[in-house]
Structure formats: C-alpha cells, structure tokens
Amino acid sequence: MNINYFFKGCIVFLYSLAALLPFVPDEVNLLLIVFVGFVGITYLCGIVNIVYVNKYVINMQHIFLGCFFVSILISLFVTQINGVEISQWIRGVTPFLFLSIYFLLSPITSEVKAKFLLNAIHLSCIVWMIKILFTLGFIIFSPGQMTRLTLITPDLSLPYGMIGFACSLFNDDKRFSKIKIILCTIFLALVIGSGYRSALLIIIIPILYYIKQLEPRTIVFGGIIFLLFTFGLLISDSLILNSDSGLAYMYKKRFENIGDELSSRRYLEVEYALTNFVDSPLLGKGLGYPVPGFADHVGSQVAYIHNLWAYLLMDLGLFGFAGYLGFVVYPLIKAMWIRFRSKSPPDAVYACSVMCIMEILIFCTVEATFRQIQTNLIIAVFVALIVWSTKEEKGKMKKLLDKI
C-alpha cells in the first residue's frame, strides 16, 4: 500500500477525531485514547512519507516554527525560576505542540494535495457541526432554556463554526459546493447562536470578501437574504422565548456593555500581562505563569488570558512572540500582498486559507481558543496552504519536481 495514501487517510481521520473532542478534554475516555493513538500513527506515517518520497524542502515557516518551539523549551527553565508549577507549563505547551504537524504537511507539492488538506479541514468542520446538532437536539427550541448555546455546550467556543462557514463559501469542491447554501446556513446559525459578539462581527469578513467576487445584482440579492436570515433568527427567537432571554435581547445587552470594556476582565488581563512582559521582555515569565482571576472568583488564579498576543509576550517574551508572528502572520501578510498586486482572481485554497487564518487570529485576540488542540491543528494546515498559495512557493516546488 502506498504510504502517501495511508498518511492522507490518517490526516482525515485525525482531524475528524479532533472535531469530536470536547472543548477541554478533562477526562481520559475511549475517544481521547483513540485520538492520542492516531496522533502517534499519523506522525510516524508522516515521517516515513517524507523519507520515502524524499521531496522535502525547508522554507521560512519551518525556521520560524523551530524558533517558537525553542522559546517554549527555554520557558521550561524560566518557569522554574519564577516558581511556576510544571503541570501548568505542560498544560500551556501541549496545544502548541500540535503546530508541529506543519513539519509533516509542508511543503505542499501539488494543487491536488492542497485541495485535499482544505477538504480535510472542511470535513472536520462538518463533523463538528453534526456533533453540535446532536448535542443540542431539541434543547435549542425548548422554552425556558438558556439561549446562549455555549452555556449548553462549551464546544461552540471552538472556531469550527466560523471556519466551516468560510470554507463553505469558498471551497469549490463539487462534493461540498452542491450543498453550499445548507452548510452556510447551519454554520451561520451556530455562530449567531453561540452568543459571541466577536464571532458575529468576525463572520462579516468572509461575507464581504465573498460579496466582492460577485456581480452587482447578486450582491444586492445576497445581502437582502443575509439580513433577513439574521434578523429573522434573532427576532423569532425572542418571540418564541421570553423577551428577556432571547438571542436578540442577549446581543443587545452585550453590545450595550462595550463601553465598559476598559474595566472588564479582558482589559485587566492584558494590562497585567504587559506589566509582566516589561519585567522580562526577552524570554517572558514562562508558559503557565499565574494570572489573577479578574472576575467574581476573586483570589483564584488561572494560567492564561483571553488575548493571544499579550499571552505570548508575557509567557514567551519577544523571542517566542517573534517566532509565532513569523510562522503565522508573516505568510498571511505576504500572501495578501502578492494577491493585491495580482490581477488574477483568487483561487479557493487562497480564499479559504486567508479568511480562516484571519478569523482565528482575530478571535484569539478576545478568546483563549489558542489554548485548544483543535485550533492549533487547524492553524498548521492553513499556514501550509497559505505558503503554497503564493506564486513564489509554487514556482520553487515546480523547479524541485522537475529536477526529480
């Protein structure tokens, strides 16, 4: 059996399993054991595939990611100096370790592999969607129940809804495009129902980018349908349920409180992180450095904040921060600049990758989803796809394959 096909099967199964994992796997069960087992099998197959195929090329993202992992290793010693428990360091490093799957996926050597990886992510989003719908069941429309769905299932805090929506918009694979409207509708409903005002605003980015590619008449028609769907969902929810518990009322209250954000937990977290960053700007305070619980549970401590950038600066310093920027943000900006200068229309791989990475990075600015295994697995794939989508990288791979 061709090891490459086996490796692809492992990738699809691994990402589907990740979508089935809970928001925080807090207990050892069969699903977690199978997932961990397939992580080992996938990495083993990936290494064998690299050795067998012998077409591996190191790019800048490999170097940046390597530097990021070095900063994480250094933080192990920094945490000991600052009195951080080793268990907190392990909890902080575990999700970031899954970025290492990038070493197995990149460089992408063909458009076929690029679309395969995109479809694998899209499929995992659908698996997550089915799981959420089964979990919610009839509870969604049951009178008297909480309408912010994350209070019913915290798995909605994962970015699969936003990513699935963007992939459903831009992925041109016939197997998915046939049910594009259905997928977009369900993913959009789950994003709105999650109650995250940040997610509701972020989802507008791929919508605007998609509209930009359409004809004027289609734009008007699509805009009207989107507005009717959104307001219809919010209003019908408020009519079916009590007026003080519906989604529309909830979003109204959440947007009314934007003015109070300067005194909120999020602001205090960032302020605390930057203060500690100034104390140790180069290497930070180490992954897992304790943060006061800026909420009702005064006196308690947590090992994270809800802002990726302040978190990296506080825990890993400028070294780790630069490594992460180079790995994720640099290829994103480079690809957008190349596309801006190009007259050709964007392909599905570029559109999905750029939109999804932007969604994740913005969402990680206000939520701690960067501490989830699933998020880092997804980031690794989209970075590989973004690197592939640049003309420069495609040219390098073409020259390499011609020599073989």
Model confidence over 345-381: pLDDT tens digits? 778 898 899 999 999 999 999 888 999 999 999 999 9
**Mean per-residue pLDDT, 115-142:** 85
CA pair distance 319, 313, nearest whole angstrom: 9
DSSP string, 342-371: --SPPPHHHHHHHHHHHHHHHHTTTS-GGG
CA pair distance 197, 251, nearest whole angstrom: 7
pTM of the model: 0.86
| Cα dihedral sign, 190-192-197-200 | positive
DSSP string, 184-207: HHHHHHHHHHHT-HHHHHHTHHHH
Report the chain's mean pLDDT, rounded to a whole number: 81
Cis peptide before 107 (omega within 30 of 0): yes
Give the rounded distance of the alpha carbon of 268 from its chain centre: 24
Give the residue, 219 or 49, on which the prediction is more confident: 49
* pLDDT score recorded for residue 384: 93
Please check the confidence at residue 319 and state whether its pLDDT lies above 90.
yes
Please check the confidence at residue 142 and state whether its pLDDT lies above 60.
no
CA pair distance 176, 168, nearest whole angstrom: 7
Please check the confidence at residue 158 and state whether its pLDDT lies above 80.
yes
* pLDDT score recorded for residue 401: 44
Distances (CA, A) of 295 to 45, 263, 299, 301: 45, 11, 9, 10
319 within 8 A of 283, measured Cβ to Cβ: yes
* pLDDT score recorded for residue 243: 45
| pLDDT tens by residue, 205-235 | 888 888 877 655 555 656 665 665 565 555 5
Confidence band of 340 (pLDDT split at 50, 70, 90): confident
CA pair distance 252, 240, nearest whole angstrom: 17
Buried-exposed string 125-156: b where 16+ CB fall within 10 A, e elsewhere = bbbbbebbeeebeeeeeeeeeebbbeebbebb
Please check the confidence at residue 248 and state whether its pLDDT lies above 70.
no
